[in-house]
A and B are shown apart, each in its own frame.
Chain A
Amino acid sequence: MADSDIKALTEALPGESFETTAFTTPRPLATATVAIVTTASLHHPDQDDFEVMDTGYRVLDGNRRDYVTGHWSPNFDGSGFAYDMNTVFPLDRLDELAERGVIGRVADQHLAYAGNQFDLSAIRIDSGPAGAKFLQDQGVDVVLLTPV
């Protein structure tokens, strides 16, 4: 069993295609509010777990550290996240960058979706735009997207 074998199984899965690539020019990073959006299905223990093919998102409180993975796929290594949450959700690293003035501030709230979706249309037209609006309402300028 090797990581490359598992990647080979999934690399050919079709993704969504976009006719044009939207492109937003951000404000300087040193003044920007940065959030993490992960597709690792993270959630707090008191939130609903992710269902298979769950296209919704969970709001992650940046002041907590009790994140659990809700991903059902066996096709990723879970031990890295178990050992150090920053392997997937680098919130401590963002806090350090904010302390050093590299980024303006870290958002108070972040988002998690479930990756490994076969039908992305609901995320594209519904929960994706809703998540973007949620982040904009928090003043987020830049999003770091992390997979699992």
Chain B
Amino acid sequence: MSTLAHVFEAEGIATVALGSIRKQIEGSAPPRGLWCDFPLGRPLGKPGDPEFQHRVLDVAFALLNSTEPVLAEFDESIPDDGDEMLSCPLPPRHDPDDHPAIDEARGLLPAYLRGVEMSDGRFGAGRVVAADDIPAAIEAFIRVSEGTPWAEAGIPGLPMRVSHDIRSYYETSALAMVDHAPVAWASTRWFLDQTETGKVMMTARQAMQDQDAPQPMWFYLTPGDR
């Protein structure tokens, strides 16, 4: 992003760059940068809080008054200690003959559809796997977790992309089942640590690594620190 700031300024457009990672914005030194210690994915800090967002913008635009390159720090941090998980119900078992993850995913479909409506489809499934096909995609990862070589398991696309749609399906469903903006990463932690499909994805990721799959194929199935 700072590269764009340098390029745009050279072309005659003044810029203000927000940055969430201190070392990156310090290293890339945009002409006017504001480091905001907010979670990745939330450069304006707090969803659903216009007052807070305006405070960020006020500080950012004030940097336009500087007569030389400047890097400032927003005065409030939003730390994430990794311990807050979304409290979100999961559907009861419907078909005992199905794998629990498949049953769970099917049961979440009504919530998913509500979540898509609530979020105007900003972060749902459907980039490579449509919502109706999510259970089949999960089934492919179940096969991987049970020992099928990953390339023969029928994953319907690049694993990281399919995984993205599965996670988005779950997190969008969760959005419909809570009445507030989730704390950053809380719905991801809920997916990976509380749901049957999350367990499948973690197991499949480990299985792919054990099968010596190329690193990008398994590493990007989950956030990098998992």
Contacts and interface: CB of A to CB of B under 8 A. Distances in A.
B47 A87 contact: yes
Contact of A21 (B29, B44, B48): B29
A131 B4 contact: yes
Contact of B53 (A15, A67, A86): A86
A147 B43 contact: yes
Contacts of A146: 1, 18, 43-44
B22 interface: yes
Given A123-B7, A131-B4, A81 B123 contact: yes
A97 to B, nearest CB: 7
Interface residues of B, number: 87
A22 B3 CA distance: 11
B57 A5 contact: no
B21 A11 contact: yes
B150 interface: no
B76 to A, nearest CB: 15
Interface string B77-100: 001111100000000000000000
Contacts of A87: 41-47, 53
Interface string B161-202: 101100110011011000001101111110010000000000
B211 interface: no
Interface string B202-217: 0000000000000000
Interface in A5-27: 5-13, 15-18, 21-26
Contacts of B152: none
Contacts of A132: 7-8, 11-13
B91 to A, nearest CB: 20
A37 to B, nearest CB: 6
A129 B3 CA distance: 11
Size range of the chain A interface in the assembly? 35 or more
Interface in A101-148: 102-103, 113, 115, 120, 123-124, 128-129, 131-133, 135-136, 140-148
Interface in A66-105: 66-70, 72-88, 90, 92-94, 96-97, 102-103
Nearest to A42: B122
Given A86-B44, A88-B42, A144-B60, A21 B31 contact: yes
A59 interface: no
A145 B16 contact: yes
B61 interface: yes
Interface string B29-43: 111000000011111
A86 to B, nearest CB: 6
B39 A145 contact: no
Given A82-B171, A83-B175, A132-B8, A76 B41 contact: yes
B224 interface: yes
A93 B184 contact: no
Given A78-B171, A80-B42, A85-B122, 5 more contacts: A7-B20, A68-B123, A72-B161, A72-B220, A133-B11
5 contacts: A6-B40, A16-B6, A66-B121, A82-B123, A103-B61
